[in-house]
């Protein structure tokens, strides 16, 4: 069994290489980005992971399903409510989710229905059925994650990041079991502050990962040695740097690795960054695999297989011995 802690864009590209694992794969997904838009419950990270597993994630845009249209979104422009872009196929899924949540179903149960509708064999779990919302305090005051990133273009200076509701949230059914029973847990190449930290903020998650007696590895979301190939990748890197800087963290793979101190047994570094980051990672005393973390679709299964083999071969019992 393989369990992946997932954010949005980076996780979607990584799990694309694991889709053939079918029922062996369990994805625990961030819900901190979720919000209500015009009365509809939007869950960007859950949907990105689902679309990726179904082979329908639009990587060039960085969100939503392939071949979507935007007639409804364009019509909303008449009323000034089109700041958040939701395609028509995306909207259909969102309408079904909102209706079922309104009927009293838990988010995890609704997600299971949606996964089945897309004929995906993997398990996709929101980290919690309870609301956990990433909020950002800026020079303009507190605002929700989507308002900050999409409406404001991640422009105001970030002073603080909070995960509202996390302290009272409970792991969704199956989440802790997915962590405890996995042969390998992989922290996807997702933003460590806004994608992975909200997962770890849910009570029980950090402890369950720290106490595992099997390996956990993290894949670097940062590649210093290659320029972003698309606008979506450029925006992702810019936002990640903004949030890391707000917490006083340099935008470097070795710094990401250090944020997972006590949780991971090994780290996957992009091969382009070995010369610049290898010594810093060596100083941490952390086993490192170098790989092409930006592998195109046809080579992602190879990347995933290498990550899993690396994890399976790691010595255990040393994750608390980092320098």
Condensed to tens digits (0 to 9), the pLDDT of residues 62-115 reads 999 999 999 999 999 999 999 999 999 999 999 999 999 999 999 999 999 999
Residue 241 resides in a domain: yes
- 318 pLDDT higher than 70: no
Condensed to tens digits (0 to 9), the pLDDT of residues 100-153 reads 999 999 999 999 999 999 999 999 999 999 999 999 999 889 999 999 999 988
Say what the pLDDT of residue 210 is.
95
Say what the pLDDT of residue 231 is.
87
pLDDT top residue among 225 and 154: 225
Say what the pLDDT of residue 133 is.
97
Can you give the three-state secondary structure of 256-292, one letter per residue? Answer: HHHHCCCCCCEEEEEHHHHHHHHHHHHHHCCCEEEEC
- 5 pLDDT higher than 60: yes
Residue 214 resides in a domain: yes
What number is the average pLDDT over the span 181-193?
A: 97
Domain count, the chain: 1
Whose tokens are 């949030």? That residue is 243
pLDDT band (50, 70, 90) for residue 323: low
pLDDT band (50, 70, 90) for residue 317: low
What number is the average pLDDT over the span 230-247?
A: 90
Residue 258 resides in a domain: yes
Please tell me the distance from the alpha carbon of residue 115 to that of residue 112, in angstroms, as a whole number. Answer: 5
Condensed to tens digits (0 to 9), the pLDDT of residues 280-297 reads 999 998 999 999 999 999
Q: Say what the pTM is.
A: 0.95
CB 293 within 8 A of CB 270: yes
Say what the pLDDT of residue 109 is.
98
Contacting residues for 125 by C-beta, under 8 A, at least 6 apart: 26, 27, 28, 29, 108, 111, 172, 174, 175, 178
Structural domain including 276 reads 2-135+166-312
Q: What is the CATH number of the domain that holds 80?
A: 3.40.50.10680
Residue 143 resides in a domain: no
Condensed to tens digits (0 to 9), the pLDDT of residues 249-277 reads 999 999 999 999 999 999 999 999 999 99
pLDDT band (50, 70, 90) for residue 166: very high
- Tell me what the pLDDT averaged over the chain comes to: 94
Residue 155 resides in a domain: no
Say what the pLDDT of residue 139 is.
86
Residue 269 resides in a domain: yes
Max CA distance (Å), the chain: 59
- How many CB atoms are closer than 10 A to CB 163? 21
Residue 78 resides in a domain: yes
| Percentage of residues of the chain with pLDDT beyond 70 | 98
Residue 148 resides in a domain: no
pLDDT band (50, 70, 90) for residue 316: confident
pLDDT band (50, 70, 90) for residue 208: very high
Say what the pLDDT of residue 229 is.
85
């Amino acid at each position: 069994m393989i369990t992946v802690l997932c954010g949005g864009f980076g996780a979607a590209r990584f799990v694309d290489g694991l889709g053939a694992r079918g029922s062996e794969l369990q994805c625990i997904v961030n819900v901190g980005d979720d919000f209500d838009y015009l009365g509809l419950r939007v869950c960007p990270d859950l949907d990105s992971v689902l679309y990726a597993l179904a082979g329908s994630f639009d990587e060039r845009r960085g969100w939503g399903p392939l071949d979507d249209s935007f007639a409804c979104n364009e019509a909303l422009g008449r009323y000034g409510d089109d700041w958040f872009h939701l395609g028509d196929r995306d909207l259909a899924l969102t309408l079904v989710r909102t209706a079922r949540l309104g009927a009293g179903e838990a988010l995890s149960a609704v997600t299971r229905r949606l996964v089945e509708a897309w004929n995906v064999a993997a398990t996709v779990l929101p980290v919690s059925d309870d609301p956990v919302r990433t909020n950002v305090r800026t020079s303009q005051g507190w605002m929700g994650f989507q308002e900050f990133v999409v409406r404001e273009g991640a422009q105001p200076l970030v002073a603080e990041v909070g995960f509202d509701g996390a302290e009272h949230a409970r792991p969704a059914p199956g989440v802790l079991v997915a962590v405890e029973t996995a042969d390998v847990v992989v922290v996807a190449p997702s933003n460590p502050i806004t994608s992975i930290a909200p997962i770890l903020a849910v009570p029980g998650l950090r402890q369950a990962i720290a106490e595992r007696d099997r390996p956990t590895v993290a894949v670097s979301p940062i590649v210093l040695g290659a320029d972003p190939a698309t606008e979506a990748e450029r925006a992702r890197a810019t936002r990640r740097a903004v949030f890391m800087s707000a917490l006083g963290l340099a935008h470097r793979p070795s710094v990401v690795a250090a944020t997972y101190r006590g949780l991971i047994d090994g780290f996957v570094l992009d091969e382009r960054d070995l010369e610049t980051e290898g010594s810093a990672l060596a100083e941490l005393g952390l086993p490192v695999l170098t790989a092409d973390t930006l592998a195109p679709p046809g080579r992602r299964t190879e990347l995933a297989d290498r990550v899993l083999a690396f994890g399976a071969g790691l010595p255990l019992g040393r994750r608390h011995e980092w320098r």
